[in-house]
Chains A and B, each alone.
Chain A
Amino acid sequence: MGGVDLFTPEMADGALSVSQLTRAARRAVEGGLGGVWVVGEVSGLKRYQSGHWYFGLRDERSQVRCVMWRSDNQRLPAAPADGTRVYCLGEPTVWEERGEFRLTVRELLSTDVGGAWQIELERARKALERDGLLDPARKRRLPRFPRCVAVVTSRDAAALQDVRSVLSRRWPLAEVVVIPTLVQGEQAERDLVRALRAIARTDADVAILTRGGGSREDLWVFNSERVARELASAPVPTISAIGHETDVTLCDLVADHRAPTPSAAAEHAVPDRLEVRQIVDHLARRAAGGLERRLRLARERLARSGDRMSTACGHQVALRGERIEAFAGRLDALSPLRVLSRGYAVAQLEPDGRAARSADQLPPGTAFRVRLADGSVRAESLGPA
């Protein structure tokens, strides 16, 4: 802690220089208080060429000098008039050159305008929360391949151009329906409600509500409870992109999806056709691979069937062969030739070769053949023996 060190040993006479004193005081003040909210009445506000504001903040008994740098005050629509009651978020410090206690104001809320807005915003947020409209479980999923995208925004804004160019680059298959609306000013709330209601009359399966960056005041209509409720009751999933990433409005809280910029909202709304193309290509390759495998399977099965068929055929042939052999054996046993081989002979009549079964069939002088095992000879009957 850089506290007040009044007894610096280097000081022979024990005295501080003025600079040392004011610096020490500044350290003490800055270290001890930090950022605080202060409420009071503005007095003697001066705007300098540099853009910085200097003014007093006072109540019935005291007053403090304040400075609000240009970088902080330029977000405000106007400087507060003298006598305005304001809430200031400031850092107490000591201006060393003048030895003056001072408040460096970072944020200034007028109870006339900003302060009242802040209070209204908090009330609206609570009301929406009470009705469950901020419940994350309420958020709907966005369609994967929307066929129609509604864009609720100002007709001439850069935001619309951004959204349109992203939509047509990524997913030109979707029809885009622009629902123009005022996005700031007194008529904006009524007009936004009307535009959001019109979503139901389109074929949209997803809706984007967007507005480019602007001051807090410019974006304020998107904190309107009526607008937020209308957005919540949209018949299709909604994407909200209001202002810059750091601006979060009630509409952003109520929408099914929140995007940091208009372009990002469009990216959320539709898929990228190149990615989808890759998915389709992948499926096509898998289909071809599947068919290829199926065909190979069929060929293999066919080849196997062929093998089995020829094996089966061979078996059948062999079986039949054996049976034929058996028949042949039996035929052989029955063959008259077997009898002849045992030394018998048969007399065959001319001319048809019928076997003679009686001696009467061979009267003397009859020519006939005698069949032996290895051949026949011609013979003539000499009469009964």
Chain B
Amino acid sequence: MSEPINFEDELRRLEEIVRALEGEDLELGDALTLFEEGVERVRQARDLLREAEAKVRELGDGVA
């Protein structure tokens, strides 16, 4: 994972996708595209939640 994921944005986008999918007026093709995007985002989020390991560093004297 190169880009650090922003969970706030991630969940907001997922919520958007779900609302659109639950709505009435969506072209089937768009629905499938959105669904694929949603699946990918869910997969990434799950991977992150599963694999993340805490990074701890101490602010050195030079910096602090």
CB distance B46 to A280 under 8 Å?
yes
Does chain B have a CB within 8 A of A194? yes
User: What bracket does the count of chain A residues touching chain B fall in?
Assistant: 35 or more
Cβ proximity bits A185-199 to B, threshold 8 Å, 1 near / 0 not:
000000000110010
Does chain B have a CB within 8 A of A290? yes
Task: Given the known inter-chain contacts A283-B15, A293-B22, please indicate yes or no for A198 contacting B46, CB distance below 8 A.
Answer: no
Task: Given the known inter-chain contacts A277-B46, A284-B42, please indicate yes or no for A172 contacting B52, CB distance below 8 A.
Answer: yes
CB distance B35 to A291 under 8 Å?
yes
CB distance A291 to B31 under 8 Å?
yes
B59 — nearest CB in chain A belongs to which residue? Answer: A179
CB distance A287 to B59 under 8 Å?
no
CB distance from A287 to the nearest CB of B (A): 4
Does chain B have a CB within 8 A of A144? yes
Cβ proximity bits B1-28 to A, threshold 8 Å, 1 near / 0 not:
0001111100100110110111100101
CB distance from A207 to the nearest CB of B (A): 12
Q: How far is the CA of A174 from the CA of B53 in the complex (A)?
A: 9
Does chain B have a CB within 8 A of A294? yes
Interfacial chain A residues near B28, Cβ < 8 Å: 294-295, 298
Interfacial chain A residues near B35, Cβ < 8 Å: 287-288, 290-291
**Chain A residues close to B by CB (< 8 Å):** 143-145, 147, 150, 155, 164, 167-168, 172-180, 194-195, 198, 201-202, 273, 276-277, 279-280, 283-284, 286-291, 293-295, 298
**Considering the complex of A and B, which 5 residue pairs feature the smallest CB-CB distances, nearest first?**
A290-B21, A168-B54, A145-B7, A172-B52, A290-B22
Q: What are 15 of the A-B contact pairs (CB < 8 Å)? A: A150-B59, A168-B53, A173-B48, A175-B56, A178-B57, A198-B59, A198-B64, A202-B59, A277-B49, A279-B11, A280-B14, A284-B39, A284-B42, A291-B35, A295-B31
